[in-house]
A and B are shown apart, each in its own frame.
Chain A
Amino acid sequence: KQEVTQIPAALSVPEGENLVLNCSFTDSAIYNLQWFRQDPGKGLTSLLLIQSSQREQTSGRLNASLDKSSGRSTLYIAASQPGDSATYLCAVKSGTYKYIFGTGTRLKVLA
């Protein structure tokens, strides 16, 4: 049974810092991994999708890596801004047409 864990659960950093969010999964037989952002009371906004054959994806100040063999993904956010404050979720898709979500990392960037 696939389980997804995100560490840390919460993070507070000053503006401008580079930071890393971690996602671990127990079953390496995945099709893809997707990172999302969720603002309070809102839906999920897709940030990056990494297919199982890929090692990393980049979009602007965001970079996500995937290491299937160790069951890990990291989301790197460069030069953090107050507007980056949100909950970040990783989700893993395996063979059953569904995503398994982590519990999220609640990020607060202080101005």
Chain B
Amino acid sequence: KAGVTQTPRYLIKTRGQQVTLSCSPISGHRSVSWYQQTPGQGLQFLFEYFSETQRNKGNFPGRFSGRQFSNSRSEMNVSTLELGDSALYLCASSFLVSQGRVGTEAFFGQGTRLTVV
């Protein structure tokens, strides 16, 4: 069974540019979450999607956005990149029977390492 796949693995972008990261969840998983990991702030929640609906968003500026497609694949976009956006971006997928909150195990991808120069 394939795990969570994130592409690309590494990105180098210039300040002011925008970037799109992709996440393919485990087959059958309908919940996809995104997290940002930095040495200073640790792992911070960005947003969570279930069946193409964003159910929660973390405390990040509007430059960070995301979406989920009908096949559960998700993308996140960061516009007008800043140096502080350099981080490891992690995607997690979970299987939920319904829209309930009691979660099953979350599985993470290998992440996308974004460097803004």
Contact = CB atoms under 8 A, between A and B. Distances in A.
Indicate whether A and B interact: yes
Given A42-B111, A43-B110, A34 B105 contact: yes
Contacts of B92: 44, 99
A31 B58 CA distance: 19
Interface in B20-37: 31, 33, 35
Nearest to B46: A98
A49 B109 contact: no
A100 B88 CA distance: 17
15 contacts: A31-B101, A31-B102, A42-B111, A43-B111, A45-B108, A46-B106, A89-B43, A91-B106, A97-B31, A98-B45, A98-B58, A99-B92, A99-B106, A101-B35, A102-B42
Given A43-B4, A96-B56, 12 more contacts: A42-B111, A43-B6, A43-B90, A43-B109, A44-B90, A46-B108, A51-B102, A91-B43, A93-B101, A97-B31, A98-B58, A99-B45
